Structure 1
Amino acid sequence: MIQMKFSKVAVVVFAAVGLLSACSDNITPQQQKSAALLPEYQNKLDIYKTVTLEADLSHLSANQKKMLSLLIDASKIMDQLFWQQAYGQDKEAFLAGIEDEKARRFAQINYGPWDRLNGDKAFIANTPEKALGAQFYPQDVSKSELEKAGLKDEKGLYSLVRRDDQGQLTTISYSEAYADELNRAGAILEEAATLAEDKEFANYLRMRAKALRSDNYQASDFAWMDMKNNPIDVVIGPIETYEDQLYGYRAAFESYVLIKDQSWSEKLAKFASYLPALQKGLPVSKKYKQEMPGSDADLNAYDVIYYAGHSNAGGKTIAINLPNDEQVQLEKGTRRLQLKNAMRAKFDAIMAPIAQTLIVPEQRNNVTFTAFFANTMFHEVAHGLGIKNTINDKGTVRQALKEHASALEEGKADILGLYMVRQLLEKGAITEGSLQDYYTTFMAGIFRSVRFGASSAHGKANMVRFNYFKEQGAFDRNEQGLYRVDMEKMTAAIDSLSELILTIQGDGDYQGVDALVKEQGIINSTLAGDLARLEAANIPVDIVFNQGKQVLGL
């Protein structure tokens, strides 16, 4: 972290208002007063289906229920911080300026006036384009200026780039920029730790509180990996870098509050032991699979009871694979958390209707919740496979591939997840369903995820994969516009795309992934027409939550 060299007055002003006023071309309070929905969005505000996030809390003690309430309080602070990172202005004034109730709700879902499932297109009049770097960087900065500035924390996960009073670029750590909010969140986590009946969970909460105040998250990540038995979990802090589309360096605040499903978790536990063998068998040259995933990885199923911040913005996450720290992954592996209740809601509301609309009748019964759950789960497991550090001293894959790193990593996880399913079916480790179930469900899942738009890492990954599969003949489309999976060609395409992605990652080939995204990460007219059929059928694009203490009876 660069040491700040401002006067005390300048520091106070910088920290207090710099985050909100650094963006001179954002919507002004005067514009907010007359904020109006753009005409083309008049009939596009109902793309989310509301789902109530409920869970059985009857097995929890009184202290555990109090702890849940505190974790929700801490999560709300993460939500406020993400508004600052994504939008940057006064949230309440912005929302108050939108008279139409549906439009105001749409703005809340998107954490600003840009539609996250439509390439961040503005839906409120007089709104500038969303900056690729959101509010992590000055709005007028260019990549060239950033790269010439020589900032010590240029690639910092937990810092903001700002201009000092001379207009020069500098950085300010999250713990300083958001000191008040993070101190409050830390105090809440420490209070929750006093109620924790599991010592490892209490330790994690205390260490996470310390991390929020210091920007040093690795120790708390290790503590989270060591936490195996607690029925309650919270994933909280600055975690994913998707919001930084300028470079993909800086992490956004988010939170999930979770209740463990013990019976489902026991079913999943056996799969983690297969990781080393699956890594060795990847369809790529040895040098791209020389890193061995940690043996401490585990799989568990949860009911999620609260989303906040980045995780709650636009399309909702239904599975988690963390931590992202490469050293923790190599030493300990990762934890894969399947958010079962949210997953079920998406399958019922979105996946099943998509199958009825776009899949040939004889393959519709192959689209199953069992396959959807497994494909989603193995997507998360597959994040642990492959390579985290380039083989040619370009640093980590994440650093080398910059803003494309997230999209390619999501593509890798999807494609290697299918590779894993095939291998585990052959080994007899998976006993439910057929390979055709998993492939056909995956195909329907592409249509679901492509609708997330070009601004989403998952959406970009799915567009690349759809176009690659089309070129390889992995599916065909009949005269009625219905899709059929070709099993043999799908298997070949999975292996060849796996090899391509792992090679680009291992080589840190920025030009290669840039070309891949530009050439393949597009929606052609035929696919656009098919997606329009889903819209005409009123199939939701995603879900939004009715959640909180009142819903849970806390």
Structure 2
Amino acid sequence: MLAIKNLSRLSAAIVLATSVCGFTAQASTENLSLKPEFKDRLDIYQEVELNTDLSHLNDNQRTMLSLLIDASKIMDELFWLQAYGEGKAELLKQIDDPAVKRFVEINYGPWDRLDGDKPFLTSVDEKPAGAQFYPPSMSKEEFEKAEFEGKTSLYTLVRQDKEGNLFSIPYSEAYSDRINRAAAILEKAATYAEDKEFNNYLKMRADALRNDDYQASDMAWMDMKNNPIDVVIGPIETYEDMLFGYRSAFESYVLVKDMSWSEKLAKYAEYLPKLQKDLPVKKAYKKEVPGSDADLNAYDVIYYAGHSNAGGKTIAINLPNDEQVQLEKGTRRLQLKNAMQAKFDAILVPIAEQLIAKDDRKHVTFNAFFANTMFHEVAHGLGIKNTINDKGTVRQALKEHASALEEGKADILGLYMVRQLLAEKVISEGELKDYYTTFMAGIFRSVRFGASSAHGKANMVRFNYFAENGAFSRDENGLYSVDMEKMTAAIDSLSELILTLQGDGDYDGVGKLMEESGMIKEQLAADLAKLEKAKIPVDIVFKQGKMVLGL
């Protein structure tokens, strides 16, 4: 256990036994029903079967996939505790309507993740900004004043003793039973791994779960190049902590590599240093050199769990988040091709038919959608990870604003990269208007994720910035067209703004930007209402698991 201020080990153990896994968010015993204003929200997700061809895998690999799914299910249990607290089973028992119950499961609690985390059930309070990572009665000011070990750790819960003193408890201790079960499953999976680097990673990740030190396993994950199966598992992203953005949430993806698509992507990583050097910002904000060991690969994802499965679904991954690993080795960018194709077909194409000018709809293409998504992930590796004025890392300096601004950076620098690589003929598919127009349609898709999503908030800021700078026009029928010249200028100026805010660690400046531009204004709200009227899904949800895969 980490050092605990003003608390004996005995009393800490009592608190640990009663409260570490979370606070029951809904203790009422009455039946819960859907609030009337949410009756049209139950069908905003389109179910997609999550499957891929496994015929090329041998028996050991198929057994390994089965075990990785088992470990992922434990990540799901852990995320429920972090997002909602104890009492998931009791919550579901209080709901009679199967459709409402399913909506709770999709959202990992009674708050609508794609509508600002509003409570959609009767007798349910607002969702705590800090989820279950912090005591419900704790204020931000109280936390800022307190001094205790593990205060800003990614891998601890914050709790309060009877005297009101704050202390931290490592995840490995707070969730010890589930952690140990998941670690044992990973170690068993490693015995079936024929790839030496993957075998090593699984064992190191199991150790990391038990000791809350993930850096070594992140380094090992970066060293894997040839494994046809992959798993991203553990406490990773900090989006669920909307109070400070310090605490990481449990999640998992089980992946099968698409070798042919991955070969096509391999050439792009080598251009990162030059792209960093040419960023449209002062030298001080691009002095860091991205790791040259980064790689790009395409996968079919066969299982989502925990944070990755909550609300809006991720279709590309850029990891690790550890700044030291990024500077030493870069990152790996994983494009989740089957999930990406499902979103393009079910959501992006119908959106374009409703909101993009008729003559421009041909410029909304899957190749452009794939590339924009891919270069979004690549762009996380560009820019700056540490402030230029000794405020620590960008993530520490910007606190709860860090995630939304980082997503905005990745989107806008992704477009910058596409433009540069098209000009140098490194990208040969399509024309720049394909990428800009597809990106425009993508804003309408992502902005529907709402203000509680870092991606949704980033898209609101960008849409409003583009509107102010004339990057697109809207005709009398409510259909949008991109102004190529003004879009290019807006991309460069917004890139400079975001990179400067990050490098300066300007917490107040980012807060002002989010407050003034991170909302849906009247005209956009009316346009999004057209999508609701047309019954276009906001996102997808999966029918997944061993039965779907035939495992």
Under a length normalisation based on structure 1, what TM-score does the superposition of the two structures give?
0.98
Which runs of structure 2 are paired with 1:27-46 in the superposition (5 Å)?
Answer: 27-30=26-29, 33-46=30-43
Match in the other structure for 2:322 = 325
For 2:19, the aligned partner's letter is: G
1:308 and 1:196, CA in 2 relative to 1: closer, same or farther beyond 3 A?
same
- Kindly indicate whether the alpha-carbon contact (under 8 Å) linking 1:116 and 1:456 is maintained by their aligned counterparts in 2: yes
Match in the other structure for 1:18 = 19
**CA offsets 1:211-247 (integer angstroms, 9 cap, x no match):** 0000000000000000110000000000000000000
SS of alignment partner, residue 191 of structure 2: helix
Distance 2:256 2:415 in 1: 28
1:6 and 1:148, CA in 2 relative to 1: closer, same or farther beyond 3 A?
closer
- Kindly indicate whether the alpha-carbon contact (under 8 Å) linking 2:111 and 2:127 is maintained by their aligned counterparts in 1: yes
**CA offsets 1:419-446 (integer angstroms, 9 cap, x no match):** 0000000000000011000000000000
SS of alignment partner, residue 432 of structure 1: coil
Equivalent residue in structure 1 for 2:199, among 197, 202, 205: 202
- Kindly indicate whether the alpha-carbon contact (under 8 Å) linking 2:21 and 2:82 is maintained by their aligned counterparts in 1: no
Distance 2:160 2:13 in 1: 14
Kindly indicate whether residue 263 of structure 2 is the aligned counterpart of residue 263 of structure 1. Answer: no
Kindly indicate whether residue 458 of structure 2 is the aligned counterpart of residue 461 of structure 1. Answer: yes
Which runs of structure 2 are paired with 1:347-426 in the superposition (5 Å)?
Answer: 347-426=344-423
Equivalent residue in structure 2 for 1:85, among 62, 82, 87: 82
For 1:551, the aligned partner's letter is: V
Equivalent residue in structure 1 for 2:66, among 66, 69, 83: 69
Distance 1:20 1:157 in 2: 16
Match in the other structure for 2:337 = 340
**CA offsets 1:241-262 (integer angstroms, 9 cap, x no match):** 0000000000000000000000
Match in the other structure for 1:272 = 269
- Residue 22 of structure 1 and its aligned partner are, at CA, apart by 3.8
Match in the other structure for 1:192 = 189
Distance 1:35 1:404 in 2: 33
**CA offsets 1:95-140 (integer angstroms, 9 cap, x no match):** 1111111000000000000000000001000111001000000111
Equivalent residue in structure 2 for 1:131, among 112, 128, 135: 128
Equivalent residue in structure 2 for 1:239, among 231, 236, 241: 236
Match in the other structure for 1:2 = 2
Match in the other structure for 1:115 = 112
- Kindly indicate whether the alpha-carbon contact (under 8 Å) linking 2:159 and 2:169 is maintained by their aligned counterparts in 1: yes
- Kindly indicate whether the alpha-carbon contact (under 8 Å) linking 1:333 and 1:384 is maintained by their aligned counterparts in 2: yes
SS of alignment partner, residue 134 of structure 2: coil
Distance 2:74 2:17 in 1: 16
- Kindly indicate whether the alpha-carbon contact (under 8 Å) linking 1:162 and 1:171 is maintained by their aligned counterparts in 2: yes
Distance 2:62 2:544 in 1: 15
Distance 1:419 1:261 in 2: 27
Instruction: Name the % identity.
Output: 72
**CA offsets 1:144-196 (integer angstroms, 9 cap, x no match):** 10011112222110001001233311110101101111011000000000110
Match in the other structure for 1:308 = 305
**CA offsets 1:512-547 (integer angstroms, 9 cap, x no match):** 100000000010111001001000000000000000
For 2:155, the aligned partner's letter is: Y
For 1:191, the aligned partner's letter is: K
SS of alignment partner, residue 365 of structure 1: helix
Provide structure 1 residue ranges, at least 5 long, that are not aligned to the other structure.
none
- Kindly indicate whether the alpha-carbon contact (under 8 Å) linking 2:22 and 2:132 is maintained by their aligned counterparts in 1: no
Structural RMSD (CA): 1.1
Provide structure 2 residue ranges, at least 5 long, that are not aligned to the other structure.
none
Kindly indicate whether residue 542 of structure 2 is the aligned counterpart of residue 545 of structure 1. Answer: yes
Distance 2:449 2:263 in 1: 32
- Kindly indicate whether the alpha-carbon contact (under 8 Å) linking 2:348 and 2:442 is maintained by their aligned counterparts in 1: yes
For 1:334, the aligned partner's letter is: T
- Residue 19 of structure 1 and its aligned partner are, at CA, apart by 3.1
Distance 1:165 1:21 in 2: 17
- Kindly indicate whether the alpha-carbon contact (under 8 Å) linking 1:319 and 1:338 is maintained by their aligned counterparts in 2: yes
Distance 1:318 1:544 in 2: 12
For 1:15, the aligned partner's letter is: L
SS of alignment partner, residue 241 of structure 1: coil
SS of alignment partner, residue 405 of structure 1: helix
For 1:59, the aligned partner's letter is: H
Distance 2:56 2:22 in 1: 47
Match in the other structure for 2:449 = 452
SS of alignment partner, residue 374 of structure 1: helix
- Residue 6 of structure 1 and its aligned partner are, at CA, apart by 5.3
